[in-house]
């Protein structure tokens, strides 16, 4: 997992498995490779479902120029905006960031996983992937709570 500089699929899968399905790491959790995983598991396990402002995860000119096109959108609308080019020109990573701050139920959990399968190829910094991971953590937390 050390080779993952950005949002790491292996760490994501193990985090989901541990934080929401009861798996416990079998190797010592204080090894260099396990520290990031342990941190991710703890963070995912502590995920809250209260809605956060978009500015809590992303700022800048792209946010300001697209704020009116993204705020107040439903999960379904944000997922659609993250899947395909938006008619309003909202970048997919910004729609994913909005999901990261707003998912409060598990109703679109499957659609969020599918969103990962259709990740934009031009996301070199993996902002999109990381935001969708955090949206999924919220959806999984909601599922555990029966929401």
pLDDT tens digit string along 98-132?
999 999 999 999 999 999 988 887 776 788 999 99
Q: Are 136 and 15 in contact (CB under 8 A)?
A: no
- Do 134 and 114 share a structural domain? yes
Predicted confidence (pLDDT) per residue in 46-73, tens digit: 999 999 999 999 999 988 999 999 989 9
- Do 139 and 97 share a structural domain? yes
- Do 139 and 68 share a structural domain? yes
pLDDT over 60 (residue 18): yes
Q: What does the alpha-carbon distance between residue 136 and residue 130 come to, in Å, rounded to a whole number? A: 10
CA angle at 44 for the pair 136 and 39, rounded to the nearest 5°: 135
Overall domain count for the chain? 2
- Do 121 and 106 share a structural domain? yes
Q: What is the mean pLDDT of the chain?
A: 88
State the residue range of the domain holding 24.
1-46
pTM of the model: 0.88
Q: Given this model, what pLDDT does residue 2 score?
A: 46
- Do 9 and 73 share a structural domain? no
- Do 111 and 59 share a structural domain? yes
Q: What does the alpha-carbon distance between residue 20 and residue 41 come to, in Å, rounded to a whole number? A: 9
Q: Given this model, what pLDDT does residue 123 score?
A: 74
């Amino acid at each position: 997992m050390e080779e993952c500089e950005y949002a790491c699929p292996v760490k994501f899968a193990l985090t989901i498995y541990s934080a929401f399905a009861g798996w416990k790491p079998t190797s010592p959790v204080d090894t260099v490779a396990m520290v990031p995983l342990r941190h991710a598991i703890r963070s995912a396990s502590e995920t809250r479902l209260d809605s956060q402002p978009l500015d809590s995860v992303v700022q800048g000119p792209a946010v300001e120029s697209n704020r009116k096109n993204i705020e107040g959108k439903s999960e379904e609308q944000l997922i659609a905006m993250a899947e395909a080019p938006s008619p309003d020109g909202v970048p997919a990573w910004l729609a994913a960031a909005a999901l990261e701050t707003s998912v409060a139920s598990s109703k679109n959990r499957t659609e969020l996983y599918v969103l990962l399968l259709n990740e934009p190829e031009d996301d070199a910094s993996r902002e999109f992937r990381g935001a969708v991971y955090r949206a999924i953590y919220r959806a999984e937390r909601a599922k555990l709570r029966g929401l």
